[in-house]
């Protein structure tokens, strides 16, 4: 079976929240279910025009996800995850390509992703997809509390 032919990329449905959290957990994706990744926060974020959560579905189950956001100038790929037994089959690449299409349709010409340094698989994937690594950029953040 060619999994990529069986994969359906579509918008996430909030009723699938627990399946999404289960998939993120199984994939080792760090997330904040009591804060920014809570059902309520996710539902609110997805109600805005600047955010879409795409999922890869295989045989009726979530196989992967990517959160696509933008600020009107720059697009962001976030929460990219693929269920571990389905990795290295092209699903993440399909999700990235679909995320870029979403951003292009919104008129966004820059797509960026932040990847933790201890994630060489993701770094290699984004390089393979034509992204350029910028080692001269330093990331700063300010957080109200640890769950945001």
Please list the alpha-helical segments (H only) found in 12-119.
17-27, 39-46, 91-105
Collapsing DSSP to helix, strand or coil, 122 comes out as: helix
Structure tokens at 73: 């100038």
Tens digit of pLDDT for each residue in 59-103? 999 999 999 999 999 999 999 999 999 999 999 999 999 999 999
Sketch the domain layout of the chain as residue ranges. 3-128
Beta bridge partners of 65: 55, 81
pTM: 0.91
Q: Which superfamily does CATH assign the domain made up of 3-128 to?
A: Gcn5-related N-acetyltransferase (GNAT) (3.40.630.30)
Q: Is residue 23 very low, low, confident or very high in pLDDT (cuts 50, 70, 90)? A: very high
State residue 1's pLDDT score: 59
In the chain, count of helices (H) and strands (E)? 5, 5
């Amino acid at each position: 079976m060619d999994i990529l032919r069986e994969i359906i990329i579509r918008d996430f449905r909030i009723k699938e929240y627990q399946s999404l959290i289960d998939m993120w957990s199984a994939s080792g994706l760090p997330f904040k279910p009591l804060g920014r990744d809570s059902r309520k926060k996710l539902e609110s974020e997805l109600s805005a025009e600047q955010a879409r959560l795409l999922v890869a579905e295989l045989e009726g189950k979530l196989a992967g996800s990517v959160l696509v956001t933008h600020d009107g100038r720059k697009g962001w790929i976030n929460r990219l995850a693929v269920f571990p037994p389905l990795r290295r089959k092209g699903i993440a690449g399909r999700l990235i390509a679909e995320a870029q299409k979403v951003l292009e349709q919104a008129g966004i010409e820059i797509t960026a992703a932040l990847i933790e340094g201890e994630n060489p698989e993701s770094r290699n994937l984004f390089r393979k997809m034509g992204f350029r690594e910028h080692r001269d950029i330093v990331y700063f953040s300010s957080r109200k509390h640890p769950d945001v």
